[in-house]
Structure 1
Amino acid sequence: MPSFDLTDRVAIVTGGSQGFGKAIAVGLAHQRANVVVAAREPEDVTLGRERPHAPVKPVVDEILAIGSRALGITCDVRNLSDVEKMVNETMSTFGKIDILVNVVGGSWGETFRSGPLLELEDHDFLECYKVNVITAFQCAKAVQPIMKAQGKGVIVNIASGAGINPGTGQAAYGAAKAGVINMTKSMAYEWAPEIRVNSIALGGIETPHRPMWNETIRSTSTNRSAMGRLGTPDEHAGTVLWLVSDAAGYMNGATIEADGGRP
């Protein structure tokens, strides 16, 4: 029977310092993987709407306390030089890369906004695409030669239900996440059989920045789920842990809709 055990595998989690990314990083450690937690400098970044970025050290310390090895890397994966630095530091420390989870993304930020189509400008689409698609592309492309040479590797790209069925005000974000979903299929087909690539189309997640949602947005997100609530970071992290394990060894090019069920 295939195992969920990830002993001694090396995983990179981008956006791993908080929320869903942190849950994935810690979950990987509980399955005995060694984890690279990558995120931007907290003092340099505010991801819009008073949502501060979190430092990597507390997550690294938590992983070390679990008993796995960990490496914290501050980088901005929108920049290719930072991506190359992340991969090089990982290889210098661990000598291999088995798993990549591309969590970095978002529907708004300090350089772009979300909203109804007529309120958006070209740069909102371009920046949203860069944050969601280009980041995943650059990271996956950087680890691909390493995984191929190893003869094995797994990549999970975090998409969104908005990439399949966008709501009002999600035009730029939905288009970008649809790009992630389709890029995932291309990666899966081109890089198999050595590398498996899948994506997860997330529904709403109850993370620390969610209290900033107004009640209308929260109600809309909750009502879209047959479960009648938002998902938790740990619930969604469990889907990632399955996809990167040998238990999902025949899953490739798939997009899992983890949204609590759409009524």
Structure 2
Amino acid sequence: MVRGIPNHLASLKAEGKKPSPTTSPEDASMHNGIFHEYNTTAPKSSSIHELFSLKHRTAIVSGAGAGIGFEVARALAEAGANVAIWYHSNKDAIDKAAAIEKEFGVKARAYQVDVTSASAVKDAIEAQVSEFNNRLDIFVANAGIPWTQGRMIDGELSHYHNVVSTDLDSVFYCARAAGEVWRRQYTASASKTLQNYSGGSFVATASMSGHIANIPQLQSAYNAAKAGVIHLVRSLAVEWVKFARANSVSPGYMNTEISNFIPPETKAIWRGKIPMGREGEPGELKGAYLYLASDASSYTTGTDIRADGGYTAV
């Protein structure tokens, strides 16, 4: 190993040869199953203010019309990012984006996007990259729906397909389209031409349900989908190491509209299983997402952050 130069590249150099220009960043991170040294570099600044700053960056947040997604979008804007908010049917997102833009002095827009359509996701990302200064820095895949039909044997297959399509497939589609942009920006040396660019950051909303089986409610399909999200992100962290980081956040029971269908007596049982004794508020997750989106987490990839009030600690 020549310091900073992988063995196979060093041998090519010694022979007067150059690596193939068609070698993808994914393939260039390792040789024969061994990672190369210095696939990444540390941020130049150690200032907390600069590490958490998202100034000049572009972020897209899906499922951001309300709840966790909206709070995350607002937090990224407060840190300086221009933000594209994706919503499914909640048109209040349009006014919310305008309010974010006015409050934080960044560009914020809302778009209705069908995240269960790979083509719709790709078209939306490409269009918004063009609209937002020809760059993408952060993608938060937050769109999701609950399983509401109890026992899996008795649940409708159409409901299963809808849950998996929204909670897992959409994350894959978003990652695929965003990753294509980040790979393109990497190969175009965007780090030298885009201000404050340090590679992509993909953050998916998983769930503590990807770690445990919830009781007393039964939701096997949802649990399986969220476990899939966690492992997808781990795998992407390895695959994308040259050009993007990939992480997830696993919220516990949160005080959002996604659980409005749950009876109060069931929620009381939940609280009895949470050391903190309460559901979380969406705003309590902002710090985790901001950390993963920013350079403060430059050495963090393939990680899942549990924010569950201690539920999975018991």
Q: Give me the TM-score of the superposition, normalised by structure 1.
A: 0.89
Query: Residues of 1 paired with 2:272 and 2:53: CA distance?
Result: 35
Shift of 1:55: 3.0
Q: Is the 8 A contact 2:52 2:295 kept in 1?
A: yes
Alignment pair present for 1:61 and 2:98 = yes
Instruction: Output the amino acid matched with 2:273.
Output: R
Aligned to 2:237: 188
- 1:207: how far off? 2.1
Q: Which residue of 1 aligns with 2:113?
A: 75
Match of 1:126 in 2: 161
Q: 1:81 Cα shift?
A: 2.6
C-alpha separation between the residues in 2 aligned to 1:54 and 1:23?
Answer: 16
User: What SS class does the counterpart of residue 145 from structure 2 fall into?
Assistant: coil
Matches within 5 A, 1:81-160: 81-94=119-132, 95-108=134-147, 113-151=148-186, 152-160=199-207
2-11 vs 201-210, which moves further: 201-210
Q: How far did 1:84 drift?
A: 2.0
1:240 equivalent in alignment to 2:251 = no
Match of 2:84 in 1: 36
Instruction: Quote how far apart the aligned CAs of 1:127 are.
Output: 2.3
Contact 1:26 1:59 in 2 (8 A): no
Q: CA deviation at 1:209?
A: 5.3
Deviates more, 1:116-125 or 1:156-165: 116-125
Could you tell me which of 211, 220, 231 is aligned with 1:164? Answer: 211
Q: Distance in 2 between matches of 1:180 and 1:208?
A: 21
2:63 counterpart residue number: 15
- Please say if residues 204 and 248 of structure 2, whose CA atoms lie closer than 8 Å, have aligned partners that are also in contact: yes
Q: Contact 1:124–1:172 (CA<8 Å) still a contact in 2? A: no
**What is the aligned partner in structure 2 of residue 213 from structure 1?**
262
1:74 counterpart letter in structure 2: Q
Find the aligned partners of 2:286 and 2:271 in 1 and give their Cα distance.
19
Partner of 1:225: 274
Aligned residues: 248
Shift of 1:236: 1.0
What is aligned with 1:178?
Answer: 227
Name the aligned partner's letter for residue 88 of structure 1.
E
Report the CA distance between 1:223 and its aligned residue: 2.4
Indicate the SS of the match to 1:131: helix
% of aligned pairs identical?
32
Structure 1: how far apart are the matches of 2:129 and 2:156?
A: 40
Q: Partner letter of residue 33 of structure 1?
A: A
Where does structure 2 lack aligned partners over 5 or more consecutive residues?
1-45, 187-198
Measured in 1, the distance between the counterparts of 2:181 and 2:260 equals 40
How far the C-alpha of 1:29 sits from its partner, in A, is 0.7
- Deviation of the 1:147 alpha carbon: 1.0
Aligned to 1:49: none
Tell me which amino acid in the other structure corresponds to 1:97: L
Corresponding residue of 1:24? 72
Query: Any idea what SS the aligned residue of 2:246 has?
Result: strand
Residue aligned with 2:52, SS? coil
**Greater CA deviation, 206-215 or 183-192?**
206-215
Q: Distance in 2 between matches of 1:123 and 1:17?
A: 25
Amino acid at match of 1:35: V
> What is the CA distance between 1:167 and its match in structure 2?
1.3
| Native 8 Å contact 2:145 2:258 kept in 1 | no
1:167-217: CA deviation from partner (whole Å, max 9, x where unpaired): 141111001111111111111111113110001111011124555532122
User: What does residue 48 of structure 1 align with?
Assistant: none
For the pair shown, the structure with the greater C-alpha radius of gyration is: 2
What is the DSSP-based 3-state SS (H/G/I as helix, E as strand, rest coil) of the residue aligned with 2:206?
A: strand
Cα contact 1:10–1:33 (8 A) shared by 2:
yes
- What is the distance in 2 between the residues matched to 1:226 and 1:128? 29
